[in-house]
Structure 1
Amino acid sequence: MTTLEKYSFYSLLILIIWLPIPLGSNRDWAWAIAEIWIALQSISLIIAYRGQLPFTLIKHYKYLLCGLALFQLWVLFQTLPLSWGPLSFLSSKSAEIYQLVGAPEGFISLDSRMTLTSFLKGLTYTLLIFNAIFLINSSKRIKQVVLIIVISGTIQAFYAAMMVLLNITESPVFGFSEKGIATGSFVYKNHLANYLMMTLCMGIGLIVTHLHTSPSNSRFVFIKRLLEGVLSRKMYIRLCLIIMVIALVMTRSRMGNTAFFAATTIGGIIALLFYKNKPRALTALVGSVIAIDTIIVGAWFGLEKVKQRLVDTSLGAESRDQVVIWSLDIIRDFPWTGTGMGSFYTVFPMYSQDDIGFYDYAHNDYIQFMVEAGIPATLLLGSIILYSFWRALTVIRTRHSRTMKGIALGCIMSVIGMLIHISVDFNLQPMANAMTFILILFLANATAVLPAIGRLDSQSNEPLHLQSEGPHV
């Protein structure tokens, strides 16, 4: 392990904290910084290994990496100029539109420049997985990455809560108007809520890694463990979760709060049903998160306002549902190829049937991906997520490692929360949210293949070598 490789790993940790800071990395200059950052990291890894990268590691993540790579190749293909014959065969509607404007040739994408921009972002996501395979190669580093994710969420939560509690009306750096709703360094409250949902879930998983699986057997041992818990890192993480819950409630995000509540509830039930040698305190932990954090702390800091927003929600007053309905017409016309990644804001006005304002996103990532990438490519991405979910579920059912099982549980909760939240918002569009979620998918796969370290997993009986494909014990 060279010094340059260590610095590359530290740069990954810094990147995790940096991503949400510049407006969620949802501006061209902000995501360009992340793209350059990841590219330099890849170059430094090649130099660190002197061109002899351990490619045998890739086979353990082949479905995740190949799935993302295939999707990016499809996005790149959407930007290539095609003659009328091939284009008419692949997408007759795209050929018709380009011919109407007298273009000499056409593209699958109806906005090839934005699709090329999306390809560069997607290439960055793929490189992130590639780098993570070589950098996050031990259970110690997995825990460090998850800890940094939790720290990043806590920083965002503390900043967002302070802005609200101090009644600050203008953000100190970019001068955006603040309206008493927590947004952190994001522009859109739901993006912060989604980010906090993921970091909260990973924080719960991190706490689970510290829970004892053996019974106390005596009052003395019980009291000793209780005191150790109060004085341990576990309590600091617990305080971080409380801060993040406060900020999550302050976002007033209806589905953000609903997604977190559902993720912890469903994830807790899954853990109680499938967790191998489950810690005796697991039930109490899940119950405390739901009861103490969501109900008591939430009620103190404004959960009632979130509930009122849910009650006041009306399909007649919301126009986002109309956007989804009209977007179905786009999917009908471009079912196999899509209109090109990043082209929604260009295409949607052609299908809008009323003046409902400007919509650059569908406010439903399922719909948006089918519109832009087509149904087959969207199913490809969905299969990657479900495969990662299945691997994490297999980990908590079969492995002995407390570290791997706890983090796998956090990944399961994060995936559940994300799948719920993206049904009503565009949370995979900001780079901060997308890269964090992709990193969580990587961690879900890593928990299935990386070995446990005896010093960190004293109760693990697993051998200290890289596991073969699949979470065998």
Structure 2
Amino acid sequence: MALAAPPLLFGSRDATTIAAWCAILGVGLICAPVKRLRKNHLLLLAGLFFVVLCFSFVLHEQLSDRPWIAPFNPIWDKASEALGKPLAPSVSVVRGEPFFALGLPLANFLALALGLIVGSDSDRARRGVKVMAWAGAGYALSGIFGLLLDPLHILWRDKTAYIGSLTSTFINRNTAAAYFGSCSVVWLVLLMAAVRSRLPRGKVLWKRVPHNLLAHAGKDVLIRFAMMFVCLSAMFMTNSRGGVLISLAVLIVAFLAYFRRDLPGGPGIVGVFIGCVAGGLVLMQVLGGNIGRRLDLQGLSDEGRLSVYRSTLKIIADNPWFGTGLGTFAQVFPAYRSDDISMWGVWNVAHNTHLEFASEMGIPLTIVAGLAWTVTFVVLAVAVRGRRRHMVVPLSAFGVSLIAFLHSSIDFPLQLAGYSIVVFALIGLGLSQGVLRREERSRPAAGGMAEGERGTLVSNRSSISINSN
């Protein structure tokens, strides 16, 4: 459910919806089966618990009337002096705001923990990846038909922004682009697994790939290709520059990672990379004409965004240890707003989630979060280097987490629950599968053979057929 339903109600932006997701994920975590957990899973859960403990400590300091070590924010003394009466001080710039902003981080922690536990079962992990992919295809089709038939509404609400751009059930087109780009990566991984299962075992002979696919292409290959094309089309129709460019780059990374053993070495790999980039540019020209025009007119970045980053760095410099308080960026930023930023518009987010997190929660906790992201990428990258038959879940999680992390460096998709819950749930599945021993990942599910084993069987049949010819 956490991999399919979060985008449904306007990207789960409302506090009530986020609270409901916290309750649902909490119940799921209580009921999750733990008998398949191994030592490595417990280590990952211990690391997650450490991050939660650090987060809780900073949150306590921001909310407490008597913080243990954090100094009160000096703005309260200035406010008391200006009003001529004493005010109870707080570490947070806005009293109590960190409590009301807690819903999204809590939902993300719960989704990650639930993914880690559920992902210890290989069959459930693979099914979870497919659930996300099919849900994404459904939202993509809904968004495409919605844009064509009723472009002025999102579900039953009036669409007040991004008229002419696909947002599906999301409000923001950039978040929609990150989501559909993530779904495209997952479908590409599933497609590559299906294609590889139709090819003979051993090194891929790329000249014979078209012949083998035409001779042995099954229904699953055609379906997965069609669903990937649907998600790619929806992604391009968002007209988001950053979301599309980052997603295309990660699609190339996923392709190279999956077929790295079959690619030519030396200058050949450079040619393959250039070919992938050329393919991405062709897709951009065919499906993303509006994005090309936006790049020609506006470049890669909106005017003023770099100035916002510099202003956010000043907030961090003035509040390095415990930040200004979770969820307080919109209230703090006007005091630091640079003169070279246009007076038009309201900057209620920094358009860089990592900088905004540092400004609200302090540098030490940001370092802890950065180490957690580093461990995540390392574990997933090591898992991707393993056997290809076990690569679907870790590679899907690696690609999606890379899109989420990079896009959050120039925008705020991870600050919207409809996308972030899906991302962290999938990361949990990927990490859980990434630390399983090889023999445990190879164990077939109760219902029959694992997907990799079915692929091997088809490959053997293909080899026999080719040899007989």
TM-score (norm 1): 0.80
Task: Pick one of 301, 304, 317 that aligns with 1:332.
Answer: 317
Mapping 1:18-417, distance limit 5 Å: 18-45=5-32, 58-62=41-45, 64-83=47-66, 86-88=69-71, 93=74, 96=77, 100=81, 104-166=87-149, 168-177=151-160, 179-210=163-194, 211-212=196-197, 214-215=201-202, 226=213, 230-271=217-258, 275=260, 294-296=280-282, 298-301=284-287, 303-313=288-298, 318-354=303-339, 355-397=343-385, 399-400=386-387, 402=389, 404-417=390-403
- Greater relative contact order: 1 or 2 (C-alpha under 8 angstroms, separation 6 or more)? 2
SS at match of 1:79: helix
Q: Closer, same or farther in 2 for the Cα pair 1:67/1:255, shift >3 Å?
A: farther
User: Which amino acid in structure 2 is aligned with residue 264 of structure 1?
Assistant: L
Q: What is the CA–CA distance in structure 1 between the aligned matches of 2:166 and 2:307, rounded to whole Å?
A: 27
Spell out, residue by residue over 1:131-164, the C-alpha distance to the aligned partner (whole angstroms, 9 max, x if none): 3333232221111111111112112211222222
User: Which amino acid in structure 1 is aligned with residue 401 of structure 2?
Assistant: V
Residue 435 of structure 1, CA deviation: 1.3
Is the contact between residue 17 and residue 149 of structure 1 (CA under 8 Å) also seen in structure 2? Answer: yes
Q: Closer, same or farther in 2 for the Cα pair 1:77/1:460, shift >3 Å?
A: farther
User: Which amino acid in structure 2 is aligned with residue 335 of structure 1?
Assistant: P
Q: Closer, same or farther in 2 for the Cα pair 1:279/1:236, shift >3 Å?
A: farther
Residue 361 of structure 1, CA deviation: 0.6
Residue 299 of structure 1, CA deviation: 3.2
Instruction: State the match for 1:468 in structure 2.
Output: none
Q: What is the CA–CA distance in structure 2 between the aligned matches of 1:124 and 1:437, rounded to whole Å?
A: 11
Moved more, 419-428 or 76-85: 76-85
Q: Closer, same or farther in 2 for the Cα pair 1:460/1:419, shift >3 Å?
A: same
Spell out, residue by residue over 1:3-47, the C-alpha distance to the aligned partner (whole angstroms, 9 max, x if none): xxxxxxxxxxx33221001111111122122112112223444xx
Q: What is the CA–CA distance in structure 1 between the aligned matches of 2:23 and 2:243, rounded to whole Å?
A: 31
Q: Closer, same or farther in 2 for the Cα pair 1:229/1:151, shift >3 Å?
A: farther
Is the contact between residue 400 and residue 459 of structure 1 (CA under 8 Å) also seen in structure 2? Answer: no
Instruction: State the match for 1:440 in structure 2.
Output: 426
Moved more, 387-396 or 62-71: 62-71
SS at match of 1:423: coil
User: Which amino acid in structure 2 is aligned with residue 383 of structure 1?
Assistant: L
Q: Closer, same or farther in 2 for the Cα pair 1:63/1:87, shift >3 Å?
A: closer
Gaps of at least 5 residues in structure 1 are 1-13, 462-473
Q: Closer, same or farther in 2 for the Cα pair 1:61/1:103, shift >3 Å?
A: farther
Q: Closer, same or farther in 2 for the Cα pair 1:392/1:278, shift >3 Å?
A: farther
Is the contact between residue 7 and residue 170 of structure 2 (CA under 8 Å) also seen in structure 1? Answer: yes
Q: What is the CA–CA distance in structure 2 between the aligned matches of 1:176 and 1:383, rounded to whole Å?
A: 39
Q: What is the CA–CA distance in structure 1 between the aligned matches of 2:337 and 2:36, rounded to whole Å?
A: 50
Spell out, residue by residue over 1:371-430, the C-alpha distance to the aligned partner (whole angstroms, 9 max, x if none): 111122112112112211111111122x3351x323322222223322321121111110
SS at match of 2:423: helix
Q: What is the CA–CA distance in structure 2 between the aligned matches of 1:201 and 1:250, rounded to whole Å?
A: 17
Is the contact between residue 214 and residue 279 of structure 1 (CA under 8 Å) also seen in structure 2? Answer: no
What is the root-mean-square deviation in Å for CA atoms of aligned residues? Answer: 3.5
Q: What is the CA–CA distance in structure 2 between the aligned matches of 1:222 and 1:317, rounded to whole Å?
A: 43
Q: Closer, same or farther in 2 for the Cα pair 1:124/1:228, shift >3 Å?
A: farther
Q: What is the CA–CA distance in structure 1 between the aligned matches of 2:101 and 2:217, rounded to whole Å?
A: 46
Is the contact between residue 257 and residue 384 of structure 2 (CA under 8 Å) also seen in structure 1? Answer: no
Q: What is the CA–CA distance in structure 2 between the aligned matches of 1:437 and 1:295, rounded to whole Å?
A: 27
Pairing 1:429–2:415 present: yes
User: Which amino acid in structure 1 is aligned with residue 234 of structure 2?
Assistant: A
Is the contact between residue 137 and residue 227 of structure 2 (CA under 8 Å) also seen in structure 1? Answer: yes
Moved more, 128-137 or 140-149: 128-137
Instruction: State the match for 1:470 in structure 2.
Output: none
Instruction: State the match for 2:453 in structure 1.
Output: 458
Q: What is the CA–CA distance in structure 2 between the aligned matches of 1:235 and 1:325, rounded to whole Å?
A: 48
Q: What is the CA–CA distance in structure 1 between the aligned matches of 2:90 and 2:215, rounded to whole Å?
A: 63
Q: What is the CA–CA distance in structure 2 between the aligned matches of 1:107 and 1:357, rounded to whole Å?
A: 29
SS at match of 2:93: coil
Q: What is the CA–CA distance in structure 2 between the aligned matches of 1:138 and 1:446, rounded to whole Å?
A: 9
Is the contact between residue 396 and residue 408 of structure 1 (CA under 8 Å) also seen in structure 2? Answer: yes
User: Which amino acid in structure 1 is aligned with residue 94 of structure 2?
Assistant: D
Q: What is the CA–CA distance in structure 1 between the aligned matches of 2:300 and 2:126, rounded to whole Å?
A: 43
Q: What is the CA–CA distance in structure 2 between the aligned matches of 1:313 and 1:246, rounded to whole Å?
A: 22
Percent of aligned pairs with the same amino acid: 19
Q: Closer, same or farther in 2 for the Cα pair 1:19/1:194, shift >3 Å?
A: same
Spell out, residue by residue over 1:183-215, the C-alpha distance to the aligned partner (whole angstroms, 9 max, x if none): 110001001011112222222222333324714
User: Which amino acid in structure 2 is aligned with residue 377 of structure 1?
Assistant: L
Residue 217 of structure 1, CA deviation: 9.8
Q: What is the CA–CA distance in structure 1 between the aligned matches of 2:309 and 2:326, rounded to whole Å?
A: 17
Q: Closer, same or farther in 2 for the Cα pair 1:315/1:239, shift >3 Å?
A: closer
Residue 300 of structure 1, CA deviation: 3.5
Q: What is the CA–CA distance in structure 2 between the aligned matches of 1:85 and 1:391, rounded to whole Å?
A: 35
User: Which amino acid in structure 2 is aligned with residue 230 of structure 1?
Assistant: A
Gaps of at least 5 residues in structure 2 are 457-469
SS at match of 2:11: helix
Is the contact between residue 144 and residue 234 of structure 2 (CA under 8 Å) also seen in structure 1? Answer: yes
User: Which amino acid in structure 2 is aligned with residue 304 of structure 1?
Assistant: G
Moved more, 452-461 or 173-182: 452-461
Is the contact between residue 248 and residue 257 of structure 1 (CA under 8 Å) also seen in structure 2? Answer: yes
